[in-house]
Amino acid sequence: MIYIFGHKNPDTDAIVAPIVWESFLKRKKINAKAFRNGSLNQETKFVLDYFKIKYPSLKTKVKANQKIILLDHNLYSQAPDGAKEADLIQVIDHHFIGDFQTKKPIYYRAEPVGSTSTIIAKIFFEEGINPSKKEAVLLLSGIISDTLKFSSPTTTKDDKRIAKLLKKISNIDIDELAQKMFEAKSRISGFSLKEIILKDFKEFETKKIKFGVGVWETILPDCLIKKATNLKKEIEKIRKIKELDLIFFGIIDILKKKCYFILSDKEKEILKRSFSGKIENDLLVVKGVVSRKKQMIPRFLEVLK
Ligand SMILES: [Mn+2]
């Protein structure tokens, strides 16, 4: 049995890609199972409920020599515990490739497209297999989520082309689905500020500095902007608990394409050197920044160096 994982703190792409990849492998008579490495976010819950798809089981650790596939990530810091000692057989991903080593040859497919779902769909079409309606809606949701409905700078021609094909198969109204997904994602009631900061959070490191970057994508930024001072205090606490040197957190206004970075004490100077924008109380407001992968991480790595 092969275990398929998306990254820690899964977003919609990191959940739907493993589910569809499991069913792709099953068509090839390969016994595989999709897992989630963390709790589902509101958007993903909405997608799975709306299309009546079972939630994948939670698994955060693997035993040595367990056969595993990593989707939507290639960094061990985002993989389940024990992944380094497991038997890694495939990676399909659209992120930068980190300090990555394997013991034996593996299937590795990386493409600079907007989502892993795009790559999975491409593999279906390349092999002459049409995704089922269910597979198509799941992959379409992954693309919409990661590209913020084709508005993120990570969006490529391939994402749009593949989405059109998937729309044809599934007969889904993309605008309507995206609106519902973004509404679900924007709900903050029931979450503590700590949960909000850590909900979509990834850790990185340079030679000397370990840092985390959290983002909260929303169509209703004001309800969090109001809490900037408290978010700042929360960042101080989380930095200590997680033993990180720095924590960057940005509220991303999906519709206006703006990022509101919290100017927490230790991160303030790096943030100001990384992005130019307007300072409003405890916030640095940066126009046009919506992608952690393409806009934040490369910039932070450069400035931290
Ligand atoms: Mn992704």
Are 205 and 295 within one domain? yes
Whole-number Å distance, alpha carbon 153 to ligand 1 midpoint, is: 13
pLDDT tier for residue 101 given thresholds of 50, 70 and 90: confident
Domain that holds residue 12: 2-184
pLDDT (tens digit per residue) in 132-144: 999 999 999 999 9
Number of domains in the chain: 2
Are 76 and 148 within one domain? yes
Are 15 and 158 within one domain? yes
Are 117 and 253 within one domain? no
Are 70 and 114 within one domain? yes
Among 134, 165, 184, where does a domain finish? 184
CATH of the domain at 86: 3.90.1640.10
Are 167 and 212 within one domain? no
Whole-number Å distance, alpha carbon 305 to ligand 1 midpoint, is: 26
What mean pLDDT is reported for the chain? 96
Whole-number Å distance, alpha carbon 281 to ligand 1 midpoint, is: 32
- The pTM assigned to this predicted structure is 0.90
Are 288 and 202 within one domain? yes
**Residues with CB in 5 Å of ion ligand 1:** 13, 72, 115-116, 146
Whole-number Å distance, alpha carbon 10 to ligand 1 midpoint, is: 9
Among 134, 156, 184, where does a domain finish? 184
pLDDT (tens digit per residue) in 216-255: 999 999 999 999 999 999 999 999 999 999 999 999 999 9
Among 184, 204, 219, where does a domain finish? 184
Are 209 and 265 within one domain? yes
Listing DSSP states for the chain in one string gives -EEEE--SS--HHHHHHHHHHHHHHHHTT--EEEEESSPPPHHHHHHHHHTT-PPPEE--B--TT-EEEEES---GGGSPBTGGGSEEEEEEE-SPP-S---SS--EEEE--SS-HHHHHHHHHHHTT-PPPHHHHHHHHHHHHHHHTTTTSTT--HHHHHHHHHHHHHH---HHHHHHHHHHHHH--TT--HHHHHHHTEEEEE-SS-EEEEEEEEES-THHHHTTHHHHHHHHHHHHHHTT-SEEEEEEEETTTTEEEEE--TTTHHHHHHH---EEETTEEEEET---IIIIIHHHHHHHH-
Whole-number Å distance, alpha carbon 144 to ligand 1 midpoint, is: 10
